[in-house]
Amino acid sequence: MALCVIVVSLCLPKQARFRYEYEKGKIWLHKDLISPYSYAIKKTNEEIRQDQDDLLKSINPIYQNNTAVSQRQFEAFISGFDIKWKSNQESPSRKNSYKNAGTQILYEIYQRGIITLNKKFQRNAANYNFTLLTNNVAAELNTVEVFTPETALKYAQDKIEGLNTITNKGWLAKVLANYLLPNYTYDERLTEKLESEALNSISSTKGLVQKGELIIANGSIVTSDIYQKLESLRNAYEEDARIIGNRQLVF
């Protein structure tokens, strides 16, 4: 029985070992290390996280131009104007002046567009770039170029203030405030799809060590770059040993 145990133990595969010991910032005490084959240099976890952060910052959020919103607001303003006019103390002869002024202001606002800002993209500033899709046609914009509901109302108030034909300015501004809804809507699904595809494309390596290349000479300091080359070599060796069953020590 004891003999059987010994035979079985000898037949079991041994774990691959990388015989060199090293520490970052320490002196390399072994002989010159020449790369036995070509292998990729792996990025550190910190480098990968930095790549991910940089990539996400470079992706503009997607907004859809919902033209139906502006159309509904125009129609609602015009159809409801006569009812709201009853609360105005102006002469009936002035009604068309108010309606035309309100229609023109709404047109100007929706031509520029109304957006709701998303805090996720306000990383370094209040405004950010975004991609606007209108019938699947993309345009690159910045939020400073469009209105928010608040700035749209301020624009309407300023325009009304400059109209001499409108005397009850507060009334018209209050009416228009009911029809200022965002027509540029954030497309979370499409934005996250772009982010996911971009993150999946990030490489986990950053260059190549060629076969026969000097990795580190005896007596040299193990710098951060050299340490990563050594770690990548160790990982490559252990992975190769796992796949092909090579049980020998490195070199």
In a domain, 251, yes or no: no
- Cβ neighbours of 24 (radius 10 Å): 13
Q: Are 209 and 215 in contact (CB under 8 A)?
A: yes
Same domain, 156 and 214: no
Does the pLDDT of residue 14 top 70, yes or no? no
In a domain, 250, yes or no: no
Same domain, 63 and 151: yes
Q: Are 237 and 18 in contact (CB under 8 A)?
A: yes
Q: pTM of the full predicted structure?
A: 0.74
Predicted confidence band of residue 9 (pLDDT cuts 50, 70, 90)? very low
> For 226-238, what is each residue's pLDDT tens digit?
999 999 999 888 8
Q: Give the range of the structural domain holding residue 184, as residue numbers without chain letter.
A: 55-200
In a domain, 83, yes or no: yes
Residue 36 in tokens: 């036995």
Average pLDDT, the chain: 89
What values do phi and psi take at 21, rounded to 5? -110, 140
CA dihedral 145, 147, 153, 159 (to 10 degrees): 30
Same domain, 67 and 142: yes
Residue 30 in tokens: 């072994």
Q: What residues pair up with 33 in beta bridges, in sequence order?
A: 216
Judged on CB neighbours under 10 Å (0-12, 13-18, 19+), 108 is: middle
In a domain, 149, yes or no: yes
Q: Which DSSP helix (H) or strand (E) runs through 184?
A: strand 184-186
Query: Which of 57, 69, 63, 97 is closest to 81 using CA atoms?
Result: 97
Distance in angstroms (rounded) separating the CA atoms of residues 185 and 64: 5
Same domain, 65 and 156: yes
Same domain, 139 and 93: yes
What pLDDT score was predicted for residue 237? Answer: 86
In a domain, 227, yes or no: yes
Q: Tokens 């595809």 belong to which residue?
A: 197
Same domain, 29 and 124: no
Same domain, 28 and 129: no
In a domain, 102, yes or no: yes
Does the pLDDT of residue 11 top 50, yes or no? no
What pLDDT score was predicted for residue 26? Answer: 96
What pLDDT score was predicted for residue 87? Answer: 87
> For 175-208, what is each residue's pLDDT tens digit?
999 999 999 999 999 999 999 999 999 999 999 9
In a domain, 128, yes or no: yes
- Cβ neighbours of 98 (radius 10 Å): 23
Same domain, 227 and 185: no
> For 73-127, what is each residue's pLDDT tens digit?
999 999 999 889 988 888 888 999 999 999 999 999 999 999 999 999 998 899 9
Same domain, 101 and 81: yes
Counting the structural domains of the chain, the total is 2
Same domain, 142 and 90: yes
What values do phi and psi take at 77, rounded to 5? -65, -45
Same domain, 125 and 221: no
**First-to-last C-alpha distance (Å) of the chain:** 37
Quickly list DSSP for 26-82. SB--SS-EE-SS-EEEEPPHHHHHHHHHHHHHHSPPEEEE-HHHHHHHHHHHHHHHH
In a domain, 70, yes or no: yes
Same domain, 65 and 32: no
